[in-house]
Amino acid sequence: DTAVSQTPKYLVTQMGNDKSIKCEQNLGHDTMYWYKQDSKKFLKIMFSYNNKELIINETVPNRFSPKSPDKAHLNLHINSLELGDSAVYFCASSQEVGILGVGENTGELFFGEGSRLTVL
């Protein structure tokens, strides 16, 4: 049973299109994240939601819009795709909103397998 699942795993599209990536976690976690991993493997956080509320919104173009219909889902919609958006996008979840929680899994992020977006 996959803990954090993302769809699609691969996405190839043309510049200017709009696309969405979906993420679901069945861990009962309160916090979910979107990360972008570029071609050099550098990981950068984009957004974080806690119980459907946005808590981290890094400097990301407003073409990127996260949506959290419930605490188990965090989707990422991207408008007007550009070449530079090509990357692997990772969804992740954690038990608590901060690193300094008290649970056994404190500070641990659980990642999905990633969605590789290629913009042509």
Angstrom distance (rounded) from CA 88 to CA 67: 19
Nearer to another protein, 8 or 98 (CB): 98
- Contacts (Cβ under 8 Å, ≥6 apart) of 112: 4, 5, 6, 23, 90, 91, 92
CB nearer to another protein: pick between 75 and 93: 93
Site for another protein (CB under 8 A): which residue of 56, 60, 72, 73?
56
Helix (H) or strand (E) run with residue 23 in it: strand 19-25
CB of 16 to another protein, least distance (A): 28
Site for another protein in 57-116 (CB under 8 A): 90, 92, 97-100, 106-109, 111-114
Distances (CA, A) of 5 to 72, 73, 106: 11, 10, 21
C-alpha of 47 from chain center: 7
Minimum gap (Å) between residue 86 Cβ and another protein: 17
CB of 94 to another protein, least distance (A): 10
**Distance of alpha carbon 120 from alpha carbon 112, whole angstroms:** 24
Subset of 15-54 contacting another protein (CB under 8 A): 40-45, 48
Where along the sequence are the contacts to another protein (CB under 8 A)?
Answer: 4, 40-45, 48, 55-56, 90, 92, 97-100, 106-109, 111-114
